[in-house]
Each structure stands twice: as C-alpha cells, then as structure tokens.
Amino acid sequence: MQRVIGSVGGIAVVLVLAGVVSAQQLPAAPRAQDAATLVGTWRAVSIEADGNASRPEDAAKVTVVNTGDGGWTIYAEGRMVAKGTNELLPGSVPKGIDFVVTETPDGDVARRHHGIYELEQDTRRLCFAGPDAARPTAFAAPKGSGHVLVTLERVSE
C-alpha cells in the first residue's frame, strides 16, 4: 500500500511509458469547464500501480482536494502525501493532464508526471506515468509499464 500511496502522491490524482499524446491548444472554455468540474474533494475508488491493484478499502483511504487555481493535495488516512499543481490539456485524445509535485513530507519535489484523464460530474479516471516519463495512451497500468490508474468519486460536501 505504501508504494501505491507513494505513486498516487505523484498525481493528482496524481500522478504517470509508451507514446506521447500531442496536446492541441483549445480555446479557454473547455479547459475552464474541466477545471471547474475538478474543484472539490474526491475519494479514490480504485488504484492500480504497475499491475498491482490496491484493495478497495485501501483505495478508499486516499482523498484528493482540488482547488480552483489548479492546485491539489493528496491525503492518505488524513495525512498529506503530496501537494502540487496541474495543467489540463483537454484538446488531446485522450485528454491530457500534467502534474507537478511541489511539496511532500520527505521533500521530494519538482517532479512532473504526464497523464491522461476522463472527467464526468462526479467521477474521474486518471492514468499517469512516473516522473518525466512519456504520457500513457490508454487507461491501463499493466506490470512493467510504470503507470498508475486511479478512479475517483466526488465526495458530497
């Protein structure tokens, strides 16, 4: 579980080695719409890291709080695991997201993770690669890929 939580710390939901998806620049409206939908608290429903799935009860211990300025904080059992920022790339197929870790309890920062995302009103799915690795092209985290696949649900506030 520590490895999964450590990997999740790079999200951001976070955070995430095959082919690069090129990001087209879209008008600000789609980016702003997705950014607004992200704001709030999210609980992990499932986490798979490099082919290893967490137990649902362990995944549920992970929450992510997204702010309107693109910031995020990941908590595991109420303790801060990582903080950072993200940049949405909604014009790519699948939609892209870049996470930058700016704070961790052990001081391991300035890591960039490339990922992809799907977003609905109360559910989102992220797949991301390890630090500075190529962006995933599919929502999968098979053994040896170094990818993390996370599904989150919005927490009612």
The tens digit of pLDDT for each residue in 21-73 reads: 223 343 455 778 899 999 999 999 999 999 999 999 999 999 999 999 999 99
Residue 17 has pLDDT above 50, yes or no: no
> Of 18 and 147, which is predicted with more confidence?
147
Around Cβ 143, how many Cβ atoms within 10 Å?
A: 9
- Angle at the Cα of 47 from the Cα atoms of 114 and 41, rounded to 5 degrees: 80
Domains of the chain with bracketed CATH: 2-151 (2.40.128)
Residue 8 has pLDDT above 50, yes or no: no
Residue 7 has pLDDT above 70, yes or no: no
Helix (H, G, I), strand (E, B) or coil at 95: coil
DSSP code, position 139? S
Q: What is the pTM of this model?
A: 0.79
For range 75-85, the mean pLDDT: 96
